[in-house]
Amino acid sequence: MSDVREVVRVPPGIAALSGIFCGCGDGDAAWAEVLRHLEAADAGKGAREMGEPWSGPDYIVSYLLNRFDLLGHGCSVHFCWLNAPGKDAIAFLRKWGANWQAAGPEFVDDDDVHHESFD
């Protein structure tokens, strides 16, 4: 029996976001919110379709996703579009789930930084 774990590459945007999540609080809910915003942008839904009025957390998530190139926006962050790295992030989160760091494989980013579970 082998002790070798599967190695999975973490998309750059997910790796960047995981670097600012400290592990306390409800990380599953935070990743679920990231996925909600990405999926809304992928479906072409703006703030109105997501349930206006937006609150501070909606803006913060959108600003962060724009900062890490998962989303883009023109004149208003309310109507973001999905960038190619955002598509990779959606596929990753759909496959591994909000609690991806505890999913079993060894998660490594492009800089060979390991992303371990805080559990």
Q: Give pLDDT tens digits for 39-94.
A: 988 988 766 666 666 778 888 888 999 999 999 988 877 778 899 999 999 999 99
CB neighbour list of residue 109: distance below 8 Å, 6 or more residues apart: 9, 10, 12, 15, 115
Q: Is residue 50 part of a domain?
A: yes
Q: What is the mean pLDDT of residues 89-100?
A: 89
With a cut of 60, say whether residue 6 has pLDDT above it: yes
The domain in which residue 85 lies consists of: 26-102
Q: How many Cα atoms within 13 Å fall on the side-chain side of residue 17?
A: 30
Question: Structurally, how many domains does the chain consist of?
Answer: 1
Q: Is residue 43 part of a domain?
A: yes
pLDDT confidence of residue 85: 95
Return phi, psi of residue 107, to 5°: -100, 125
pLDDT digits (tens, 9 = 90+) for 23-52: 778 888 888 889 988 998 898 876 666 666
Terminal-to-terminal C-alpha distance of the chain: 25
Number of Cβ atoms within 10 Å of the Cβ of 23: 11
